[in-house]
Structure formats: structure tokens, C-alpha cells
Amino acid sequence: MTQMQGLDNTPFPRLSDRAAPSMSMDNSLPELQGSASDARAQISRQQYSDFLRRFNPVRMKLAGMYDNPMLRQESLSQAGTMVRDSFDRLPEQRERYLSGLGLEMGEQEQASMERQDNLAESLADVTARNRAQRAFDDRNEQIAVGLNPGRITGG
């Protein structure tokens, strides 16, 4: 029997020469004795123990994330903090922009802009918190129905 060669004339390794791939799943069959129902029970027990070892930790982690009030509060406070940080820098950015144009605002204009900024900040804060709330509820729904658990992120 001739051994097959690749394009570079090196022989392909034989199946018996290759090391068995290392997998976390136990593919060995149990020693089956007794009736067919006993064998099926042994296989079912082995599959269940494999499930507990590989998939149950992920299930438990997702169950701990489901409707967790601490994660919900954290996501809401993070949304509020991001809005507050961006609006805190707004007056400095506006002043820098206007000074680059050689313009300056009077006191009444500054007070008017401050009122507008406060209103915009309030609206942005409410919008950000509502979106965070909706995202958290959507994530909870995905956890509950089991859709794409690998794509579920943060709170």
C-alpha cells in the first residue's frame, strides 16, 4: 500500500500516527451491560452529567443575571453619568468655539444658553435612562426565552 503525498511530496500522516484531538467532551461509551433499557439509562446518565459539567454553569450565570436589580440600577446610573459628563463639558466647549470665532456672549445670552442646556440635559438624561431600561428588559427577555445567550452583554 502506497502512502499519499501532498503537493510538496511530503507524506500525509496516517490516521494511526496522529494524536487524538483533545476535547473537553467525554465521547467514551460506558461499559454497557444488561438489557437495552439499562444501556440507554447509562447513556442518559452520562449525557446528563456532561450537561451539568458543561452547560449548567452558563445557565446558572444567566439565571443570576435575569432581572437583577443591582445590574439594572448600575446600568441606569451609568447612563445618567454619561449624560451628565457630556453636558458638564458643554459650556467650556461652546466658549472655546466662540472665542475661536472672536465672539463673546453677554450675560443674558449665557443665562439663556444655560437654561437651554439644562432643559436639553434633562431630556437627554430621561432618554438615556429609558433606553437603558428598555435594553435591560430586552436582555431579560432574551435570557428568559434562551435566544442567543452568547450575544447578551452587560446590564
Q: Residue 36 falls within a domain, yes or no?
A: no
Q: 98 is in which domain, residue-wise?
A: 66-147
Q: Residue 21 falls within a domain, yes or no?
A: no
Q: How many domains does the chain have?
A: 1
pLDDT tens digit sequence for 55-96: 888 888 877 778 888 989 999 999 999 999 999 999 999 999
Phi then psi for residue 48, to 5 deg, are -65, -40
Q: Residue 101 falls within a domain, yes or no?
A: yes
Radius of gyration (C-alpha) of the chain in whole angstroms: 31
Q: Does residue 113 contact residue 94 with C-beta atoms inside 8 Å?
A: yes
pLDDT tens digit sequence for 111-145: 999 999 999 999 999 999 999 999 999 988 888 88
Q: Residue 87 falls within a domain, yes or no?
A: yes
Q: Residue 57 falls within a domain, yes or no?
A: no
| Amino acid making up residue 134 | R
Q: Could you tell me where the DSSP H helices lie in the chain? A: 36-54, 56-65, 69-88, 90-100, 107-145
pTM: 0.56
